[in-house]
Amino acid sequence: MTHAIHIASLPTAASRAQVKCSSCAMNTLCLPTGLDETATGRLDKIIGRRRRVERGESLFSMDQPFKNLYAIRFGHFKTFRLNPDGAQQVVGFHMAGELMGMGAIGTGRHHDCAEALEDSEICEIPFTKLDELFGEVPQLLRHFHRVMSHEITREQGIMLFLGGMRAEQRFAVFLLNLAVRYAARGYSSTRFQLRMSREEIGNYLGLTIESVSRLLLRFKEKGWLRIAKREVELLDRASIEALANGLAVAEPIASKRPRVRASAAMQMAA
């Protein structure tokens, strides 16, 4: 049975020290299905630390040397790059059960920045130790390859997402992508909170904050969703899906773009 998204109270320092991968609520997303108790225990031992990250706190930054992967236990993060003029370009939003930092594996340095959107908690995974464990637990390596493949597909999807869709279509895909990801975590697929600001959503989608506000109002007027502050409830998911897939047309917010199907983009991890 699903339930509405709420902010979970974070564990105390004492309880965090006792948390193990086997008892973590996100282990079905982080770990490969069927990993036995021995292998899980070995993974537990290489976890560097589980620590809290305050809202607005940076987890890693551009050009910082790569040492750890970060598994999100609680909370939400955004990743962004800094343009030459110092402006942020949001490239992703991340939630519990997801890994961050994989883009730095090849070069040894991070290509973007990660910042907590709310008080969150992460597990630091030293990559040198994880790489050694891959040789001993092939199932874990295969799982990691699948995660990496998904990340590559996500990056490719973003190019399609931002470059080939109308503004209202991009926004519909964005909402549906959040719905799918929350459902995978046992939460409601129709009622959830937007942890990011409208400005951050607009930055990610290539829209102004005014356009995001108008889109929310338009979807509300059509009876497709209900919004109260940051809580969104999808009332007519079928219509939103039709718009996302190019099967329906809403009055354009921005300049018209070539119509493409959104099914691939809906599977992205934003």
Q: What's residue 31's pLDDT? A: 61
Quick: pLDDT tens for 138-174.
Answer: 888 888 888 888 777 777 776 676 677 899 999 999 9
pTM for this entry = 0.81
State yes or no: pLDDT of 69 exceeds 70: yes
**Does residue 170 sit in the same domain as residue 154?**
no
**Domain span holding position 120:** 13-160
CATH of the domain at 82: 2.60.120.10
CATH number of the domain encompassing residue 175: 1.10.10.10
**What CA dihedral angle connects 52, 77, 106 and 180, to 10 degrees?**
120
pLDDT at 88 over 60: yes
Compute the average pLDDT of residues 32-37: 69
* DSSP conformation letters of 104-121: GTTTSB-SSEEEESSSEE
What is residue 1's predicted lDDT score, i.e. its pLDDT? 41
Residue 217 lies in a domain: yes
Q: How far from chain centre, in Å, is Cα 243? A: 22
Tokens of 188: 């409601």
Q: What is the mean pLDDT of residues 223-234?
A: 94
Using DSSP, state whether 33 is helix, strand or coil. coil
Report helix, strand and coil shares of the chain as percent, to nearest 5.
Answer: 40, 20, 35
Do residue 147 and residue 210 come from a single domain? no
User: CA 52, CA 73: separation in Å to the nearest integer?
Assistant: 10
The Cβ of residue 91 has, within 10 Å, a number of other Cβ atoms equal to 18
What does the pLDDT look like over 48-68, one tens digit per residue?
A: 778 999 999 999 999 999 999
Number of domains into which the chain is organized: 2
